[in-house]
Amino acid sequence: MAPLRVHFVCTGLGREARGFETFTRSLAAALRHEPSIALTVFAGGWNGHQPGERVIRNLPRRSWGARALGALTRHDPYYVEQVSFAAAYLPTLRREAPDLLYFADLNFGNAIWHWRRRVGGGWRMLFYNGGNTTKPFTRCDHVQLLTPAAREAALARGEPADRQTALPHGVDFDPAWRPPTAAERLAARRTLHLPEQGEVLLSVGQLDRAIKRTHLLIDAVAALPSPRPFLHLVGADGPDRPGLSAHATAALGTHWRWEILTRDRMTLAYVAADRAALLSHGEGFGLAYVEAIGAGLPLLAHDDATTRYVIADAGLRHAITDVASATAGLQRLRQWPVDAASAQARHDDVRRRFAWSALGPEYVAMFHRAAARP
């Protein structure tokens, strides 16, 4: 039987550093030798380009053209990126006619769905609902939900059960991983120009108020008694970044830093840290949760349905609603053990549940299920 032809589209791949961009390349590598799947990745840029990826011309969200066109049409630049990508990708889609189109960018998917409705096309559409949208799933044929809670909420809204698959985000783990030594931690700090003495608290995610709640973390660190940890913020830029940067400087002085790191240097950030915190609410999955715990770090996260599934008991879940509760959570986190045995146990927990060795066959099954016609 011929392999299932899957087009995996990520409009920000090659330019952005979100979890979905990381996931795209990770999944492609995990299924590279799967005989029943012929997967082709379509990217929006060339950064970190991998063999076999195909780049589609578009107006990237950070470009002058996307900002100008967005202002003219009253859309945000990310919308312009997705729609311009869809327009440039259509000739390839029509010419190659895959069995399945796998995507996460909602406006890209909407554009392709409307095209298929008007002119026809045999491809099926699988939506990766990593953002945990609650909009009706009417612009796709099948939906991947990343947690059981997300599936239960979709069913409660009346979404058909046979058009959904609950399947978590797969993650790459180094098979030779072991807890870093003190010497390795010091070397990582020197490479990243972090303080060599004292505690480093790492938070990975876009600087953002609405979802990531970076402002709460900044204020909670400032409220801790001395000696406070050095706050290392790593993640993508965003509209809240200038204001949050000014806020962090006012609250913490020079005892903090924000930067964007490549994937190889992200490994150093996890090695350099003592603990991690991400105070998000409303995450669809939270790759940073798994990465931090997989690096052996004690992690503080807000207690909600997503973190109960993703983090379970491998990290510290604490109800965080304001600065006082965030500060209390950090104080609890500082009591968590950082010895090698505890770090190894944390790593083993998430690796057992989210490694590609465990989830790869389930992704293959989902692709075949989503491509099947009713």
Q: What is the pLDDT of residues 67-116, one digit of tens each?
A: 999 999 999 999 999 999 999 999 999 999 999 999 999 999 999 999 99
* 246 — pLDDT class (breaks 50, 70, 90): very high
Q: How confident is the model over 181-199, as a mean pLDDT?
A: 97
Rounded CA-CA distance 276/158 in Å is 37
Contact call for residues 32 and 172 (beta carbons, < 8 A): no
pLDDT the model gives residue 274: 98
pLDDT the model gives residue 114: 96
Q: What percent of the chain has pLDDT over 70?
A: 100
pLDDT the model gives residue 299: 98
- Residue in 304, 302, 307 with CA at minimum distance from that of residue 286: 307
Indicate the average pLDDT of the chain: 95
- Residue in 81, 244, 366, 36 with CA at minimum distance from that of residue 89: 81
pLDDT in tens, 248-304: 999 999 999 999 998 889 999 999 999 999 999 988 899 999 999 999 999 999 999
Q: Is 28 exposed, middle or buried (0-12, 13-18, 19+ CB in 10 A)?
A: buried
Return the ∠ at Cα 59 (arms to 55 and 61), rounded to 5°.
105
Three-state DSSP class for residue 6: strand
pTM for this model (two decimals): 0.89
Q: Establish how many alpha carbons lie within 13 A of residue 231's alpha carbon, considering only the half-sphere containing its beta carbon.
A: 29
Q: How confident is the model over 211-215, as a mean pLDDT?
A: 95
Q: How confident is the model over 152-176, as a mean pLDDT?
A: 94
* 159 — pLDDT class (breaks 50, 70, 90): very high
In the predicted structure, residue 364 carries a pLDDT above the cut 80: yes
Radius of gyration of the chain (CA): 21
* 134 — pLDDT class (breaks 50, 70, 90): confident
More confident: 189 or 284: 189
Rounded CA-CA distance 209/211 in Å is 6
Rounded CA-CA distance 139/56 in Å is 22
Rounded CA-CA distance 160/295 in Å is 38
pLDDT the model gives residue 20: 86
Q: Is the peptide bond before 227 cis (omega within 30 degrees of 0)?
A: yes
Q: What percent of the chain has pLDDT over 90?
A: 90
Q: Please, what are the domains in the chain? A: 4-171+356-371 (3.40.50.2000), 182-354 (3.40.50.2000)
- Residue 285: count other Cβ atoms within 10 Å of its Cβ: 25
In the predicted structure, residue 132 carries a pLDDT above the cut 90: no
Phi first, then psi, for residue 16 (nearest 5°) are -100, 165
The residue whose two tokens read 């780049």 is 55
Q: How confident is the model over 26-52, as a mean pLDDT?
A: 95
pLDDT the model gives residue 215: 97
pLDDT the model gives residue 374: 76
pLDDT in tens, 297-344: 999 999 999 999 999 999 999 999 999 999 999 999 999 999 999 999
pLDDT in tens, 1-28: 799 999 999 999 999 877 788 899 999 9
